Amino acid sequence: MKPDPDDYLPLAPATLHILLSLAEEPMHGYGIMQEVLRQSGGRYNLGPGTLYDNLQRLMKQRMVEEVAGPREGENSRRRYYRLSPLGRGVLSQEIARLEGVVHEGRVRLRSLKPRRA
Amino acid sequence: MLRWLYIQFIWLHPAPFRWRFGDDMLDDFERARLRDKPRYFADAAVSLARQWLLRPEFQQSEAAAATAAASPQAAGVPLFQTIETYKPRRAALLHGGLLALLSMLAVVTVIGMGGGVARPFLIGAHFSRPGLLPIDRNSVAASDLNTTVTPAPDPVNAWLKLARPYFLSMPVLRALDTDGDFTLSPWEIANAPAALRSLDSQHAGKVTAEECGLHIDPDSVPPETPAQLRRQFMSYHPVLAALDADHDGEISAGEIGRAAAALKKLDRNQDGYLTADELVPLDLAVRARLQ
């Protein structure tokens, strides 16, 4: 039975950032941490323990897959990860959910603005 | 030092997590700036608690982790080491046991046969067997063990046993051996002329063969024979042969006077005494197996 992406929502912030980092191309762990740091504007500094704990769980849930890295170069020994179709679907659903949250938030916040006389 | 400490933190994680992500965690730690490293330690401590307390589903057996470690991907990783779990194949164990059993059986069989080429193994055998001694059996008679061994008689007693009847049958020796010990001492030798004169029963100044112990039956021998018998008699007995220097069958007055010197010629070992082995005729000694 094919899993439903909605079953995994809502995503934790760390999970969301990790999936978002892998949305464009496969990355290794250190690259994911750097990308999360960049996405959050330096506010969310993911540690290795937290990162690999999430990757472990995401791979078990088949949202992330391990792929072969480049054969040569300084990162040849590192493991690379990419989004699986399920992971991409979950991320899409989460983004859509967040868009709804943002829209609702903007509406609510707009209604609270004081009107000019 | 910090790197070693961080390795210990990684080592404390559950094996499956450690094998899968430990290498990358250490690589991330080495890439981090020095001011960020304390945060890495805190993160590792939290991760440690989380793995052991909140992720039991990921804790696989150590055996599975060891299997993962044997994969080519883990080769060359300096962080994690395993204790060697090599065990011989069952076929190798079976062959080794079979070979040991056959070797033991061969040794026991050779020892049990007790002989042939296995003589070196027979040291310490409990029971005597012909094969125990590496000798040529053809050179030893089968009746060796039944042979009665008689010690050789004491030569002194044997000579005395032979000398006693001989001295008693010889008037000359009885006269010379004044103390009756069947040995002529230097004093008795020196006194020989007087002892010989005591035998001159006819007072002819000489000692005849008959006076020395010869018995001739005139009826049974021809008239020309007695002289020859006397010479043979005198030459047969060593002591008479020594005294009858001219071999005429009698001890003349002159020969009686030189008796001591003549007797001394019989002293082969030059000890001054004339013992039985120097006085008894050779054929008697040979017959008594003393010569």
What per-residue confidence (pLDDT) applies to B134? 57
CB contacts of B44 in chain A (<8 Å) are 47-49
* Inter-chain touch B28–A48, beta carbons under 8 Å: yes
> Could you say which of B31, B44, B58 has the minimum Cβ distance to residue A56?
B58
What per-residue confidence (pLDDT) applies to B125? 55
* Domain A11-111, classified CATH 3.40.50.150, yes or no: no
What per-residue confidence (pLDDT) applies to B99? 94
**Phi–psi pair at B2, nearest 5 degrees:** -65, -40
| Tokens standing for residue B58 | 């990921």
Model confidence band, residue A59 (pLDDT cutoffs 50, 70, 90): very high
ipTM above 0.85, yes or no: no
What per-residue confidence (pLDDT) applies to A75? 57
pTM score: 0.43
Interstrand relation of A64-67 and A27-28 (parallel, antiparallel or unpaired): unpaired
Q: What is the pLDDT of residues A69-78, one digit of tens each?
A: 776 665 567 8
Q: What b/e readout covers B15-46, taking b as 16+ CB neighbours within 10 angstroms?
A: bbbbbbbbbbbbbbbeebeeeebeebbebbee
Distance CA B67, CA B73 (A): 12
Strand arrangement, sheet containing A80-83: A27-28, A80-83, A64-67
> Could you say which of B25, B36, B40 has the minimum Cβ distance to residue A52?
B25
* Inter-chain touch A77–B55, beta carbons under 8 Å: no
What per-residue confidence (pLDDT) applies to B222? 76
Q: What is the pLDDT of residues A73-101, one digit of tens each?
A: 655 678 899 999 999 999 999 999 999 99
Of chain B residues 19-78, which have a CB less than 8 A from chain A?
20-21, 23-25, 27-29, 31, 36, 39-40, 42-44, 46-48, 50-51, 55, 57-58
The string of DSSP letters for B4-66 reads HHHHHHHHTS-HHHHHHHHHHHHHHHHHS-GGGHHHHHHHHHHHHHHHHHH-GGG---HHHHH
Q: What is the pLDDT of residues B152-184, one digit of tens each?
A: 767 778 888 888 888 888 899 889 998 888 889
User: Which residue's entry shows tokens 């909140």?
Assistant: B54
Spans of chain B, pLDDT less than 70: 58-87, 114-146, 153, 291
The whole-angstrom distance between residue B1's C-alpha and the CA centroid of its chain comes to 74
User: Which residue's entry shows tokens 């006194």?
Assistant: B191
> Could you say which of A48, A55, A56 has the minimum Cβ distance to residue B43?
A48
| Tokens standing for residue B275 | 């013992």
What per-residue confidence (pLDDT) applies to B98? 93
